[in-house]
Amino acid sequence: PGQVTVPLAGAIAAAGLTPPVDDPAAQLRLRSALSDLESRLLVWHTYDAAGGRFLFVPAEIRDPKAIAAGGIDRPSPVPEDTVQPDPWRSPDGLAWDLLTFVRALGSGDTPSVASVETLPRPWLRWLNTRLWWTGDDVPPPGYLAFLAAVGQDEGILAVADGPHGPALTPTAAVRSWRDRSFPAQTAQLRLRWLASSGWPEGAARTDLAIEGADWRGFRRRLLAHLGELIATDLPALAEPASPASIAKGELAGPWYAVEDLSQWLAASDTDILGDTFSAATAGYTGTTEPERRLAAIADAIAGTLTTALAWFGLVELATGPRGRRLVRVSPATLAPTTTDRTGTAAGREGASREAPISLAIDGTVRLRQPSPVRVWSLLTFAEPRTLGDVSTFRLTEASLSRALAAGFELGQVTDFLTRQSRRGLPEPVLADLQGWSNAFRRVRLGSALTLRPDDPEQADQLLALATAAGLPAHALPDGTLVVILPGDWRSADGDAAVTSLRQRLRAAGFHPAGGN
pLDDT in tens, 422-432: 999 999 999 99
pLDDT at 1: 40
Average pLDDT of span 92-110 = 91
pLDDT at 226 exceeding the cut of 70: yes
Q: Is the pLDDT of residue 69 over 70?
A: no
3-state secondary structure of 44: strand
Task: Compute the 3-state secondary structure of the chain and give helix, strand, coil in percent, each to the nearest 5.
Answer: 45, 15, 40
**Contact by Cβ (8 Å): 209, 195:** no
Query: Residue 441 has what pLDDT?
Result: 86
Q: Among residues 341, 217, 196, which one has the least CA distance to residue 276?
A: 217
Same domain, 434 and 493: no
User: What local confidence, expressed as pLDDT, does residue 489 receive?
Assistant: 72
> Which of 113-122, 229-238, 346-355 comes out lowest in average pLDDT?
346-355
* pLDDT at residue 76 is higher than 70: yes
| Residue 44: strand pairing partners | 56
Which of 128-132, 151-155, 333-337, 368-372 is the least confident region?
Answer: 333-337
Measured CA to CA, the distance from residue 44 to residue 40 in angstroms comes to: 10
Q: Residue 310: inside a domain, yes or no?
A: yes
What does the pLDDT read at residue 341?
A: 43
In a domain, 146, yes or no: yes
Residue 2 inside a domain? The answer is: no
Alpha-carbon distance 404 to 413, whole Å?
Answer: 10
SS3 readout for 8-21: HHHHHHHCCCCCCC
Whether 421 and 499 map to the same domain: the answer is no
Taking residues 184-210, report their average pLDDT.
Answer: 92
Q: What is the pLDDT of residue 65?
A: 47
- Within a 13 Å sphere around the CA of 452, how many CA atoms are in the beta-carbon half? 6
CB of 428 closer than 8 Å to CB of 361: yes
Tell me the CA distances in angstroms from 375 to 93, 300, 384, one per residue in order. Answer: 12, 34, 10
Mind listing the pLDDT tens digit for each residue in 240-297? Answer: 555 555 555 556 789 999 999 999 999 999 999 998 888 887 766 666 788 888 999 9
Greater pLDDT, 488 or 69: 488
- Residue 515 CA from chain centroid, whole number: 48
User: What average pLDDT does the chain have?
Assistant: 85
Q: Which 3 state secondary structure label does DSSP give 451?
A: strand
Q: Is the pLDDT of residue 67 over 50?
A: no
Give the C-alpha separation, 227 to 215, whole Å. 18
Over its C-alpha atoms, the chain yields an Rg (Å, rounded) of 31
Query: Are the beta carbons of 125 and 170 closer than 8 angstroms?
Result: no
**In terms of domains, do 256 and 383 share one?**
no
Q: What is the domain range of residue 196?
A: 80-334
Same domain, 259 and 227: yes
Q: Are residues 259 and 364 in the same domain?
A: no
Quickly list DSSP for 18-42. PPPTT-HHHHHHHHHHHHHHHHTTS
Task: Please tell me whether residues 454 and 362 are part of one structural domain.
Answer: no
DSSP, collapsed to helix, strand or coil, labels residue 82 as helix
The answer to whether residue 347 is domain-embedded is no
- 436 and 453 inside one domain: no
- Mean pLDDT of all residues in 457-464: 90
The total number of structural domains that make up the chain: 4
Phi, psi of 180 (to 5 degrees): -90, 160
Does 204 fall in a domain? Answer: yes
Q: Taking CA 308 as the corner, what is the angle to CA 93 and CA 238, rounded to the nearest 5 degrees? A: 85
pLDDT tops 60 at residue 337: no
Which of the four pLDDT bands, split at 50, 70 and 90, describes residue 30?
confident
Q: What does the pLDDT read at residue 99?
A: 97
What CA–CA distance (Å, rounded) separates 194 from 372?
Answer: 23
Residues 201 and 292 in one domain: yes
CA distances for 145 relative to 162, 327, 344, 513, angstroms? 20, 23, 27, 55
- Alpha-carbon separation of residue 194 from 37, 175, 452 (angstroms): 36, 24, 65
User: What's the average model confidence in pLDDT over 185-202?
Assistant: 95
DSSP-based three-state secondary structure for 360: coil
Q: What count of other Cβ atoms lies within 10 Å of the Cβ of residue 8?
A: 16
Which pLDDT score is estimated for 347?
A: 46
Residue 87 sits in the same domain as residue 217: yes
**Residue 98 belongs to a domain:** yes
Mean per-residue pLDDT for 466-481? Answer: 89
Average pLDDT over residues 124-145: 95
Tell me, yes or no, whether 305 and 370 share the same domain. Answer: no
Q: Based on the domain organization, do 423 and 389 belong to the same domain?
A: yes
In the predicted model, is pLDDT for residue 28 greater than 90? no
Q: Looking at the domain assignment, is residue 3 inside a domain?
A: no
User: Contact at 8 Å (CB) between 133 and 94?
Assistant: yes
- Residue 229 CA to residue 273 CA, distance in Å, equals 19
State the alpha helices, DSSP H only, in 272-409.
289-305, 308-311, 345-349, 372-381, 397-405
Note the pLDDT of residue 249: 52
Indicate whether 453 belongs to any domain.
yes
Count of Cβ atoms closer than 10 Å to residue 356 Cβ = 17
Instruction: Tell me the DSSP string of 169-234.
Output: EE-TTHHHHTTB-HHHHHHHHHHHHHH-SS-GGGTT-SSEEEES--HHHHHHHHHHHHHHHHHHH-
Q: Which of 118, 119, 95, 117 has its CA nearest to residue 109?
A: 119
Together in a domain, 149 and 212: yes
